[in-house]
């Protein structure tokens, strides 16, 4: 590792800037070529069904101060047609004769993907608001051979039938345990949309829908059908670094359909005497309908021993009032940290306690005030020799923190963003968060101050924009320590149709600046900052600007549930000292293409094959041109504050 002072200068040339500008222009200029969906028209007056557009307009809150109550979302023809046919087929399935007739006569197919990111997730339930829930029916679909769009159709092939028999479908009681509503309650569109999202977020559920059916001969009663589709819960991972070291894992995300997770890790390194190692994990989701999750883990091997537990309850829905967590971890290393000047083992006990209280201010705009408190005790018993301005994670400290957040959050219901066809929930709204704390360190006492601002919204003709900013630092005797400034903008384009193929473009711009950081804290180019193929720390700095462009082509090919997406990428990075300007920065770029293969029916990671070329490679750095890896599905950044915390510098 090398500190910022060892930055190797390579002045940024005009040619570099011109190339970057051309690449940005070519990528962004393609977005407006998207054709408008026929079912999406211009915005009219709120709360009016227009005969020409056939849309119901509903006003929603926007985080932008100049336009607090004007943005609207729509229930399109496709949305309401889908609800109508779902309800009709559900009623027809009550008897054998009517079910067979329905299968023949009702052949509606919901569009696989909407071009425009729009449509509030709660909008389709608005017409049933306030009506009494008479019955709740849970339909659990098999993993293979079923479709959430046509839940009453079941046409598996021979292989799919065999695989279905080896899978324990989620118990109905587990699905009901994760419902926020009961028989006799009044329909709340917000609660139903939140509940769909909660079900989809469960690690053993592929997708979920809630269908509301009007009770015949009753204007004030409805029946609700909850439809879920499992993922095949058995899985495994294998990663290796040649034949010398690696990691093998096996797991079951849904043991016997109970919603519990069990996993075993076997790491190995032939150069170490305690190889192979052993790790085990057990996770219980939603204990006794409290939405408390318990995670137990143990690991021993390769010079490290760790065990502990996490007991957490998140703000699972907008109506959740309390969230909190308790984490206890014990860790020992038998190997000396060779990155230190004086290597020595480490032994510590980490205790972390936090609590959040959410106050609903406006249920229509879903605006909330959230207050949080946290206590962390990083009790390090043994560590190598360190100074007060180095290796913060190895320092013994107690931290008392508090936060106040104002959050506005709703969700778009979409797909083909980070997934490959399953329903995805894309948050929109905004959040302001202020955090402060007091640290009692083994070397000193100091105060922490930090604040973040984030907004996200879909612009109909372009796509979805997310922007955030953060500023934080410790204050010690009038001096700042470990300060940082973070600016981020993400863009997700609307879908572009090219025959049967669909294209979505992504732009990520990230600027990070550190000031008064510790001697071992610096910024570099690595996989965390978006440069997967680069290794080596020959250059470092206090400021980093990255601009990443990616275009994804979703293929219509479906091979036994495996779906394919081709992608091309352009990565540009600038690294420079805290007091320098962009023209003095070290420039790095990479360009390439690849393919991702995923089966949403399985819990396995996405297989990614990535080929990259790096024309501007930093001195003494190396690049892997071909990378084959397993990638977890990305999740969009949301507007939930979480426990009070320090803004990470990485």
User: To which residue do tokens 């994760």 refer?
Assistant: 178
CATH H superfamily, domain 77-230: membrane protein fhac (3.10.20.310)
The pLDDT, as a whole number, for residue 390 is 87
Can you tell me the distance from the alpha carbon of 236 to that of 250, in angstroms, rounded to the nearest whole number? 4
pLDDT at 530: 63
Return d(Cα 117, Cα 426) in angstroms, integer. 9
* Alpha helices, H only, 43-157: 77-92, 96-105
Q: In this predicted structure, what is the pLDDT of residue 118?
A: 65
Domain ranges for the chain, please list them.
1-33+442-634+642-650, 77-230, 239-352
Decide if 439 contacts 450 (C-beta within 8 A): no
Counting Cβ atoms within 10 Å, is residue 183 exposed (0-12), middle (13-18) or buried (19+)? exposed
Length of the chain: 650
**Does residue 318 contact residue 362 with C-beta atoms inside 8 Å?**
no
The two beta strands, 132-141 and 221-230, are parallel
Q: What would you report as the CA-atom Rg of the chain, rounded to the nearest whole angstrom? A: 26
Extended beta strands in 86-187, E state: 132-141
Stretch (H or E) spanning 85: helix 77-92
Integer Cα distance of 505 and 518 in angstroms: 38
The whole-number pLDDT of residue 208 equals 93
Contact 596, 631 (CB under 8 A): yes
pLDDT of residue 535: 66
Structure tokens at 185: 């309650």
Closest CA to 377 of 347, 346, 352, 402: 352
Extract the tokens encoding 66. Answer: 């100049």
540 within 8 A of 650, measured Cβ to Cβ: no
Q: What is the pLDDT of residue 160?
A: 87
Cβ count near 614 (within 10 Å): 20
For the chain (length 650 residues), average pLDDT per consecutive 10?
40 41 38 34 30 32 36 43 51 53 44 61 87 94 87 84 91 95 93 93 93 90 94 89 87 94 94 91 95 96 93 94 96 70 78 97 94 96 84 92 96 88 90 97 95 93 93 94 95 92 95 92 75 67 92 91 93 86 82 93 89 79 80 84 92
Q: Is the peptide bond before 43 cis (omega within 30 degrees of 0)?
A: no
- Per-residue DSSP letter, 647: P
Residue 146 has what pLDDT?
A: 87
Closest CA to 588 of 574, 569, 570: 574
260 Cβ partners below 8 Å, 6+ apart? 254, 282, 283, 284, 285
**Sign of the Cα pseudo-torsion (38, 39, 44, 50, in order):** positive
pLDDT of residue 587: 84
Torsion sign, CA atoms 386, 390, 394, 396 = positive
Which residue reads 């690991």 in tokens? 299
Q: Tell me, what's the pLDDT at 634? A: 79
The model carries a pTM of: 0.79
Distances from the Cα of 477 to the Cα of 330, 468, 480, 481, 517, angstroms: 33, 30, 8, 10, 16
3-state secondary structure 590-605: EEEEEEEEEECCECCC
């Amino acid at each position: 590792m090398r500190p910022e002072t060892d930055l190797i200068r390579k002045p940024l040339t005009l040619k570099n800037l011109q190339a970057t500008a051309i690449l940005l222009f070519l990528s962004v200029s393609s977005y407006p070529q998207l054709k408008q969906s026929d079912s999406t028209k211009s915005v009219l007056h709120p709360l009016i069904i227009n005969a020409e557009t056939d849309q119901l307009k509903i006003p929603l809150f926007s985080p932008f101060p100049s336009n607090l109550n004007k943005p609207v979302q729509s229930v399109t023809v496709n949305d309401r047609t889908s609800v109508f046919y779902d309800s009709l087929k559900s009623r027809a399935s009550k008897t054998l004769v009517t079910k067979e007739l329905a299968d023949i006569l009702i052949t509606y197919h919901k569009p696989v993907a909407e071009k425009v990111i729009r449509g509030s997730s709660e909008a389709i339930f608005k017409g049933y608001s306030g009506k009494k829930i008479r019955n709740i029916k849970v339909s659990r679909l098999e993993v293979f051979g079923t479709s959430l769009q046509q839940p009453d159709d079941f046409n598996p092939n021979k292989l799919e039938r065999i695989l279905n028999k080896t899978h324990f479908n989620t118990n109905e009681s587990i699905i009901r345990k994760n419902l926020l509503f009961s028989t006799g309650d009044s329909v709340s569109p917000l609660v139903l949309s939140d509940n769909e999202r909660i079900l989809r977020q469960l690690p053993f559920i592929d997708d979920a829908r809630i269908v509301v059916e009007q009770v015949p001969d009753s204007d004030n009663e409805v029946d609700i059908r909850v439809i879920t589709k499992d993922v095949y819960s058995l899985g495994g991972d294998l990663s290796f670094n040649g034949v010398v070291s690696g990691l093998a894992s096996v797991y079951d995300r849904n043991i016997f359909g109970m919603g519990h997770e069990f996993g075993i890790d076997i790491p190995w390194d032939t150069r170490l005497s305690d190889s192979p190692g052993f790790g085990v994990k057990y996770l219980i989701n939603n204990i006794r309908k409290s939405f408390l999750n318990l995670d137990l883990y143990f690991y021993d091997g390769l010079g490290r021993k760790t065990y502990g537990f996490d007991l957490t309850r998140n703000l699972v829905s907008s109506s959740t009032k309390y969230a909190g967590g308790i984490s206890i971890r014990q860790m020992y290393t038998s190997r000396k940290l060779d990155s230190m000047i004086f290597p020595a083992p480490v032994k510590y006990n980490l205790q972390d306690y936090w609590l959040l209280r959410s106050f609903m201010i406006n249920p229509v705009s879903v605006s909330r005030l959230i207050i949080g408190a946290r206590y962390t005790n990083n009790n390090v018993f043994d560590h190598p020799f360190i100074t007060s301005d180095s290796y913060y994670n190895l320092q013994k400290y107690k931290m008392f923190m508090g936060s106040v957040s104002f959050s506005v959050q709703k969700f778009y219901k979409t797909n083909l963003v980070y997934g490959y066809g399953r329903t995805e929930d894309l948050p929109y709204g905004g959040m302001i968060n202020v955090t402060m704390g007091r640290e009692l360190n083994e070397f000193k006492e100091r105060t922490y101050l930090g604040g973040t601002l984030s907004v996200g919204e879909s612009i109909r003709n372009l796509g979805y924009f997310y922007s955030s900013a953060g500023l934080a630092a410790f204050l010690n005797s009038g001096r700042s320590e470990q300060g940082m400034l973070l600016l981020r903008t993400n863009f997700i384009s609307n879908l572009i149709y090219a025959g049967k193929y669909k294209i979505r473009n992504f732009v990520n711009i990230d600027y990070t600046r550190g000031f008064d950081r510790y001697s071992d804290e610096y910024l570099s180019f690595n996989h965390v900052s978006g440069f997967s193929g680069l290794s080596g720390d020959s250059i470092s700095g206090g400021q980093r600007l990255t601009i990443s462009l990616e275009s994804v082509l979703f293929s219509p090919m479906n091979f036994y549930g495996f779906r394919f997406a081709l992608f091309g990428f352009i990565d540009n990075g600038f690294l420079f000292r805290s007091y320098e300007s962009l023209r003095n920065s070290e420039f790095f770029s990479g360009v390439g293409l690849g393919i991702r293969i995923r089966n949403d029916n399985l819990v396995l990671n996405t297989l990614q094959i990535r080929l990259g070329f790096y024309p501007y490679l930093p001195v003494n750095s190396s690049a892997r041109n071909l990378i084959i890896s397993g990638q977890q599905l990305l999740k969009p950044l949301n507007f939930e504050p979480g426990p009070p915390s320090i803004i990470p510098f990485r």
